[in-house]
Amino acid sequence: MRNKSILIVEDDLEIKTLIQFFLEKDEELRGEYEILTSQDGLKALKIIQENKPKLIVLDLMLPGLDGIGISKQIKSNKDLYGNPLIFMLTAKSEIDDIVEGFHAGCDDYLKKPFDPRELVLRIKKLLSLRNDSKKLINENTLEYKDVIVHIDKHVVLYSGVEIELSSKEFNLLVFLITNKGLALSREKILNNVWNENYFLGDRTVDVYIGKLRDKIPNLSNYIKTIKGVGYQLKNN
């Protein structure tokens, strides 16, 4: 078994085979990731527990346990399942289903039918963003536009001028920058920034996003509000 893997969880054999073919065909991915597959939700959880894949391509509708249920299990049991990126596939077009997916912890999604080439590109982008985030944290310095964050010193500079942030504002800024380009649900932000205190409610995130926008005006142009979901710090 290779050190890193991608898991495809899809009960439609034709779609599963198509995704697997394009992932294994990609030169970058095939040299680094083993491609695992499952057609059943409950069996997929066992594979996730045993292999700790870096990313899961997850169908919404599955026998045994659906994609939403799998996502919730993973996000509530990180010690057991690791912390994989989740790319959800759905045949449903209702915005409520997509929002539910983000609330359950998915990082991106595509509606069926889809072009497998787009899927591969977006998977590679997610993996790249995750790797870049880890690299930035290890270097103890984050840079985004005119903002520089010194993690170890707890200092934020905007256009060379130090900005005073509270502990939660600082942690929120770090979380946004290290996850730039990703759609982040309010629940995910609360769980990562506030941890055990995230019972404060979704409105808390909105208030603190507003504080960051006020204190660092340039961010107002780059923090995108995603209706019904949460926020995204633009990648470019």
CATH 1.10.10.10 fits 139-233, yes or no: yes
CA atoms within 13 A on the CB side of 163: 25
56 Rama sector, left if φ>0, alpha if ψ -120 to 50, beta otherwise: beta
Mean pLDDT of 68-91: 89
For the chain, where do the domains classified as CATH 1.10.10.10 start and end?
A: 139-233
Q: pTM (2 decimals)? A: 0.66
Structure tokens given for 174 = 């770090």
DSSP, collapsed to helix, strand or coil, labels residue 233 as strand
- Residue 76: pLDDT band by 50, 70, 90 thresholds? confident
* Of 47 and 31, more confident: 47
- What is the residue-averaged pLDDT of the chain? 87
Residue 236 has pLDDT above 70, yes or no: no
Task: Tell me how long the chain is.
Answer: 236
Other beta carbons within 10 Å of 2: 11
Please state whether beta strands 155-158 and 147-150 pair in parallel, antiparallel, or not at all (unpaired): antiparallel
pLDDT tens for each residue of 136-183: 556 688 889 989 999 888 899 998 899 999 888 999 999 999 999 888
pLDDT of res. 174: 93
pLDDT of res. 31: 85
- 126 vs 63, 133, 141, CA distance in Å? 27, 11, 21
pLDDT tens for each residue of 126-137: 888 777 666 555
For the chain, where do the domains classified as CATH 3.40.50.2300 start and end?
A: 5-132
Q: Nearest CA to 116 among 25, 4, 5?
A: 25
Quote the CATH superfamily of domain 5-132: Response regulator (3.40.50.2300)
Asked if 4 contacts 82 with a C-beta cutoff of 8 angstroms, the reply is no
Counting residues of the chain whose pLDDT is more than 90, the rounded percentage is 49
In whole angstroms, give the CA distance from residue 142 to residue 27: 30
